[in-house]
Structure 1
Amino acid sequence: MTRIRRTAYVALSSFGCIVLIGLCAMLSGAPLLFPSLGPTAFLVFASPQVPGASPRNTVLGHLAGVLAGLTGLAATGLLSAAPDLTHPSWARVGAAAIALGLTCAAMAALEISHPPAGATTLIIALGLLHTAPQIVAILVGVILIALLAVLVNKLFGVPYPWWRSPGPAPAKVTDLVP
């Protein structure tokens, strides 16, 4: 596969998935579209055989990020506080640090590496999305991107696991897409 075809595949697949999730967000009024879906989309289309791109790691990594973000907020008494990115308090810094540390620890301990989950945990710990309906929407958005990755990669004949990557050896998209 040429570099141009690979580039087009990654760009158009990511574009299409974000458009579909964005449409669902518009129709539902739920924040299904949030920043860490961007790096997730890149990972699942540019490096589909890397273990961190598997649907298992995508879903469980973001779930770890959500739970750790909520834990950081609870530990610092900020569960109901409004976000303030321009004047962070020590409590907010603590929530972010606790959340990121817990997310990284969980992903390492459970072997569910998915780097974009670090952004999800900060979105929550910084208070940007933290209410129960917003948390549900985040998880639905993650499940949508994982399902779309399975469908799109299968549709174009790109080897991609249904749930877990077969092994640690990453393959390049150039080797996978005809």
Structure 2
Amino acid sequence: MTRGAKPYHLESLEERYPKWVVRSLYTGVNSFISIFLMAILAYNTDAPFVFPSLGPTAFLLFFTPLAAASAPHNAFVGHLIGVLAGWFSLAVTGLLNVPPDLEKIDWQRVLACAVALGLTCGLMPVFQAAHPPAGATTLIVSLGLIRTPDHLLIMMVAVCVIVLQGFVINRGAGLPYPVWRKHAKNAPPDD
């Protein structure tokens, strides 16, 4: 590269090629890489390092990396709220040790799902951690699909790993991806 030439970061690619092509490839390739690595972890450990709400998290991390919902704080705290609310809902409805049955949802499960989602959606604004995929995380837990303390911990480790991947990839692409929170001065209003 010659002196004064722009590095091939995401923004310079968007100046040279159609923005939708660059964004599409950036989002698709990096989401593939992130989930592929998580699936390899799951394959090698027989642990739930891949669960449905990581897909939308990957999409946010790479399609809208500078949005507040994509910041590490929001992704981590949002999923943590979802996991804890889901577990709490299982505990208060007596379903902690009941395996899932998606073909027959009883009133305990109905209540568990409603409590979990209500708590998750109510607490994310309190902790300024809006992350829509956390709504799926809390339902995964409250439906009993992932419910043991060990597996819930692994879910949170998976969130940390994918957020770290997002940080490395986005910073490597020259984006000012936040270390923890999106800076308020650059943040669009959430209202």
Query: 2:171 is matched with which residue: 125, 146, 154?
Result: 154
Take 1:140 and 1:26, find their aligned partners in 2: how far apart are those partners? 15
Q: Deviations over 1:81-122 (max 9, x none)?
A: 010111100100100000000001110111110000000000
Quote the offset at 1:159 in angstroms.
Answer: 2.1
Take 1:158 and 1:10, find their aligned partners in 2: how far apart are those partners? 14
Take 1:90 and 1:169, find their aligned partners in 2: how far apart are those partners? 41
**Where do residues 12-161 of structure 1 align in structure 2 (5 Å cutoff)?**
12-161=29-178
Aligned length: 170
Sequence identity (%): 46
State the one-letter code of the partner of 2:80: L
Take 2:30 and 2:69, find their aligned partners in 1: how far apart are those partners? 18
Quote the offset at 1:158 in angstroms.
Answer: 1.9
- Structure 2, unpaired ranges of 5+: 1-13
Quote the offset at 1:130 in angstroms.
Answer: 0.1
TM-score, scaled to structure 1: 0.93
State the one-letter code of the partner of 1:83: P
Take 1:155 and 1:78, find their aligned partners in 2: how far apart are those partners? 44
State the one-letter code of the partner of 1:36: S
- Structure 1, unpaired ranges of 5+: 171-178
State the one-letter code of the partner of 1:123: I
State the one-letter code of the partner of 2:23: R
Q: Deviations over 1:52-86 (max 9, x none)?
A: 11001100000000000011101111010010111
Q: Deviations over 1:126-149 (max 9, x none)?
A: 000001121111011101111000
Quote the offset at 1:18 in angstroms.
Answer: 0.4
SS of the equivalent of 1:141 reads: helix
SS of the equivalent of 1:79 reads: coil
Matched, 1:11 2:28: yes
SS of the equivalent of 1:38 reads: helix
Quote the offset at 1:16 in angstroms.
Answer: 0.4
Structure with more relative contact order (C-alpha pairs < 8 Å, separation 6 or more):
1
State the one-letter code of the partner of 2:188: A
Take 2:182 and 2:30, find their aligned partners in 1: how far apart are those partners? 20
* Aligned position for 1:169: 188
State the one-letter code of the partner of 1:82: P
SS of the equivalent of 1:42 reads: helix
